[in-house]
Amino acid sequence: MVGYDDIRVAQDRLAGHARITPLLDAPQLDAIAGRPVFVKAECLQRTGSFKFRGAWNRIAALVEAGEAGAVVASSSGNHAQGVALACQIYRIPATILMPSDAPRAKVDATRGYGAEVVFYDRETEDRDAIAEALAVDRNAVFVPPYDDPFVIAGQGTCGLEIAEQARERGVEAGTMLVCCGGGGLSSGIALALERDVPSLRVRPVEPAGFDDMAASLAAGERRAIVPGSTSIQDAILTPSPGRITFPIARRLFGPGLVVPDEDALRAMALAWRWLKIVLEPGGATALAAALFQGESLADGPVVVTASGGNVDPAVFARALSLDTA
C-alpha cells in the first residue's frame, strides 16, 4: 500500500516545509559504543519530532484532494503537534485526542498550535472508539499516528535524508536503529533504505514492557503488549504494530531491541553532553541501544534516530542528574 515512489512524492510535498535535519556524531559516543555512531537529529525537526513529516504529507494530500474540512487525530503528543501545526498552516480545524497523563509540555504545545485537545483515560477508555466518535461529530477526517500510507511515506523522507547523509560519511553498510512505537517511522525508513542503502539494516527499538514490535517479529504475526506496564518513554507506547506497518517490518526489519527507562535517561544526558541536543525519553531509545547494547549488534557503524525532543523540564533534569562519566 506504500512504497519508495510514495516517499519521493512526500519529499516533494515537504520541500520548503520540513527541515533537513543533521546527522551528528561525537568521538565520546563512539568510545562508549565501541563503534562509530551517527545520530539523525529529528529533535530539531519542526514541532520537535519527526511526526511533522507524516502529518504534513497526510494533510497536504487531503488538501490536494479537497477533503480537508476538519481533522481529528489521537496522540500522546508528538503526532498531536505535527497535525496541529499542519492544520494551523492550512487553516483547518484540528481536534486532538490525548491521554490524560500526556506530558504537560506536549499538551501545551498542541494547544499553542491552535488545536482543541480532548482527554481520555488510556487505562479505561477505548481511544479508537472515542476518536471515531469525534470524527463523526465534527464531520472530520481522522489522521492516524502511524498506520496510514501517507503518514508512513512522510516519515520515510527521514530515511531518504539518512541514506544521502550516511553515504556522505562513508557509511555504506551497518545497523539502523529506529525508535519504534507502531512502526510508522521505522517502516518508512526501511522502505527508503531498501532502495538507497540496502546494507544499512533497520532494527526497531522499543521501551521495556512495550516491545510489541519485537514480540511480533519473533512470532511472525502481530502481537499485543501485556497490559499493566508503565514507561516514561511515552512517545512510543503502543499496544501493537500497525496493520500496514507490520508487513513492511516482517519483510525488512532485523530483530527488535528493548530499552529500560534508566538507559533512555542516560542516553538523554549523553546526547546533551556531547551533541548539545535535547531528547525526550522515547526519542533517546535508539541511541540508548547503540550505546549500551553493543553486544546485540552486528559489527560496523550504527545510525540512530533521535526522534523527538519534547520533554518535560522535570524529566530532563532527572536525566541530567545521572552520572554518565
User: CA 89, CA 182: separation in Å to the nearest integer?
Assistant: 26
Q: 128: pLDDT confidence band, cut at 50, 70 and 90?
A: confident
Residue 73 phi, psi dihedral angles, 5° rounding = -145, 160
Please write the tens of the pLDDT for every residue from 156-173.
999 999 999 999 999 999
**Mean pLDDT for the chain overall:** 96
Rg of the Cα atoms in the chain = 18
Q: What pLDDT, on a 0 to 100 scale, did the predictor assign at position 325?
A: 63
Please name each of the domains of the chain with its CATH number.
Answer: 4-50+149-320 (3.40.50.1100), 51-142 (3.40.50.1100)
- Write out pLDDT tens, residues 184-198: 999 999 999 999 999
Q: What is the model's pTM?
A: 0.96
Specify whether the CB–CB gap between 56 and 292 falls below 8 A.
no
Grade residue 127 by pLDDT with cuts at 50, 70 and 90.
Answer: confident
Averaged pLDDT for residues 141-152: 96
Provide the pLDDT for residue 5. 98
Tens of pLDDT, residue by residue over 264-288, are: 999 999 999 999 999 999 999 999 9
pLDDT at residue 300 greater than cutoff 70:
yes
- C-alpha cell of residue 181: 512505537
Q: Quote the percentage of the chain above a pLDDT of 70.
A: 100
188 touches 152 (CB < 8 A)? yes
Q: Which pLDDT score, from 0 to 100, does residue 232 have?
A: 95
List, in order, residues 6 or more apart from 258 with CB less than 8 Å away: 205, 206, 207, 208, 211, 214
Q: How far is Cα 52 from Cα 54, in angstroms, rounded to an integer?
A: 6
Gap between the terminal Cα atoms of the chain:
47
Q: What pLDDT score does 122 carry?
A: 81
Average of pLDDT values for 89-99?
A: 95
DSSP 60: H
Residues 6+ apart with CB under 8 A from 95: 70, 71, 72, 73, 115, 116, 117, 118, 134, 138, 140
pLDDT band for position 228 (cuts 50, 70, 90)? confident
pLDDT at 126: 87
If phi > 0 it is left, if psi is from -120 to 50 it is alpha, else beta; for residue 228 that is: left
